[in-house]
Amino acid sequence: MRTIAVIARKGGSGKTTLAVHLAIAAHLRGHKVLLADADAQRSAAEVLRGRQGPGPEVVETTGSKLFTLQVAAVRNAVDTMIIDTPAVLEDELGHSIVVSDLSLLVIRPTFLDIAAALRTAEVIRRLRKPGLIVLNQAPAPREGVEPPAVKRALEALMLMRLPVAPLILRARANYQSVLESGRSVEELDPANPAAREMGALWGFVERLVYGRRTGERTEA
């Protein structure tokens, strides 16, 4: 089993949206998925409980209980555990990073997001755990040229000394709206740009944590 923590210190970064979409992306590709909702708001749990039909299992938990939950997940033949982490509690966040095979640091291309993430990046490095920065809610390029805000953000992210995912997630309304039905953008329309972005991001993450792609997308 592999465990992936989705982390953001700044509210509104899209952390929970990304955690749910990655959990469903893994499910669609044949993984047995557990989403551990360690965020006190329990938004991920609320979304997945509104889902019709098969999908990832979801458990409400806390950082201190993650190791025990991880052991139980292995016993239940779970392939992938994804943690929606708390945004502000340092100790809780540390538990999530320690038990994870990869921590995804979700950042919007804004000064405040980047400033808030610097401390978390330092925690990931100090714990000597693998980390990956995901640039989220970025404006779309115009005529193939990235907007200045995205260029500045990519330059600033170099200061964190963590790798940056080659797939940038753009600001698209359907990432949030589709969650009302507990579904992902890939299920809404596999050909739309958001679905292609999310599928590509999951493929990249999957290769990092498993060393290979474990399967292609299937219908739920």
Domain architecture of the chain: domains with CATH:
11-210 (3.40.50.300)
Q: How far is CA 68 from CA 32, 43, 65, 72, 102, in A?
A: 18, 22, 5, 6, 18
How much of the chain, in percent, has pLDDT values that exceed 70? 95
* 23-60 pLDDT per residue, tens: 999 999 999 999 999 999 999 999 999 999 999 999 99
Facing residues of 84 across strands? 6, 37
Which residues are CB-neighbours of 79 under 8 A, at least 6 positions away? Answer: 1, 2, 26, 31, 32, 33, 214
How many whole angstroms separate alpha carbon 140 and alpha carbon 143?
A: 10
> What's the gap between Cα 213 and its chain centre?
17
* 178-190 pLDDT per residue, tens: 999 999 999 988 8
The CA R_g of the chain, rounded to the nearest whole Å, is: 16
Residue 212 banded pLDDT, cuts 50, 70, 90: confident
Facing residues of 7 across strands? 105
Which pLDDT score is estimated for 73?
98
